[in-house]
Amino acid sequence: MEPFLPWPGSKAKCSKPIVDEFPKSFGTYYEPFLGSGAIFFALSTKCEFKAAELSDINANLINCWSNVLDNTEHVKKMLGHCLARNSAEFYEAMRKQMANPSVFLYVMRASFSSMYRENLKGEFNVPWRRQDFEVNKKPISFDMERIDVCVRYMREKNIRLSVADWMDVCQLPKAGDAVYFDPPYVPFAKNGFTDYSAAGFSEGNHVFLRTQARLLSERGVYVALSNSLTENTVRIYGPPTKVISVTNSVKSTATTKGKREEGLWVYRPR
C-alpha cells in the first residue's frame, strides 16, 4: 500500500527490503519521523500489530494527517478546488497557508520534487514546478482513491497522531513493540539537502538517536533505522544491517541523479 502524501525521502519505492526485516507480529508500532508514513502503510502486506503511534515535530504535517483521517471527504473536495486553480500565483499564495490540510496536500503535489523545506524563520520556501506546469504543460493530479484506501487502513490500525519530538517518543515503547526511525539524513555531500525544518538535525542528534535505538532494543523493543550510507554515517551508527539501493527523489541533492545506496540499521530485542 502506497502513502497518500508526496514527501521528500519517502520510502514508498524501497519499502519491501525494510519491511522484510520486521517481525511478523508485535504490539504497538511507533514512527516518530512520520513524513508520508510509507513504512507504516507498507507493513500492511506483512505484519500484524494492534495499534500505531505516529508522530512528527511538523505540526502542519500532523494536522494534514488528522484531517485526512477525520474529515476525508471535505479534504478531498477542497483539494480538488486547489488542483483546479493550480498556477504560479495561486501556489505562491497557498504555500503561506500550510495549516490548511487540503492546501498542504496541494502544495506538496505542486512543489519542486515534492520537497518540504523551511527557511530559518520556519516558513515553507520550495518553489512551484514551473518547468512541468508552465513550460511542459503537464496537468496536475492527485490520486483521491489512494486517500480512501489509506484512511481505511489507518482506521483499522487504531492510529494515534501527535505533534511530538522524537526524543520524547523514545520513552514510550515497551517490550514487544516496534519502532521505525527515518530521521533527516547525514549529508551525502557537504551541500547535500537534508534539513526539512528550521531546527535541523545535527550530528549530536544522530549520536543520541543511535544511543536511544540501542537502549530501546535492551528494553525488548524492535528498532529499525534508515539513513544515508556515508563514512560519517557508518562512523556514528556502525556498519548497516542491510544496504538498500534507492532512486534519488529530491533532485536538488548534491549527489548524482539515479540510484544511490542507503543503510538500514536493525536493533533486535535483547
Question: Which CATH number goes with the domain that contains 112?
Answer: 1.10.1020.10
Q: How many domains does the chain have?
A: 2
Domain range holding 76? 64-144
Statement to judge: residues 137 and 256 lie in one domain: no
The pLDDT value recorded for residue 191 is: 43
Contact 95, 112 (CB under 8 A): no
The pLDDT value recorded for residue 100 is: 98
Q: Where are the alpha helices (DSSP H) in the chain?
A: 15-19, 38-42, 59-70, 72-84, 88-94, 101-110, 130, 144-156, 166-169, 203-218, 231-237
Statement to judge: residues 119 and 183 lie in one domain: no
**3-class SS at 263?**
strand
Of the three residues 144, 179, 204, the one that is the final residue of a domain is 144
The pLDDT value recorded for residue 189 is: 63
Give the integer Cα–Cα distance in Å for 218 and 220: 5
Statement to judge: residues 165 and 217 lie in one domain: yes
β-bridge partners, 223: 179, 267
Statement to judge: residues 83 and 18 lie in one domain: no
Give the CA distances from residue 138 to residues 36, 66, 129, 210, 239, in Å, rounded to whole numbers and listed in that order. 24, 30, 10, 43, 43
Give the integer Cα–Cα distance in Å for 173 and 195: 26
Statement to judge: residues 69 and 202 lie in one domain: no
The pLDDT value recorded for residue 140 is: 96
The pLDDT value recorded for residue 118 is: 86
Statement to judge: residues 169 and 259 lie in one domain: yes
Of the three residues 114, 144, 174, the one that is the final residue of a domain is 144
The pLDDT value recorded for residue 56 is: 97
Statement to judge: residues 167 and 204 lie in one domain: yes
The pLDDT value recorded for residue 192 is: 43
Statement to judge: residues 114 and 244 lie in one domain: no
Contact 57, 147 (CB under 8 A): no
What are the mean pLDDT values of the chain's consecutive 10-residue runs (270 residues total)?
91 93 97 97 93 96 98 98 97 96 97 88 91 95 96 96 97 97 83 46 93 97 96 95 79 51 95
Instruction: Give the number of residues written for the chain.
Output: 270
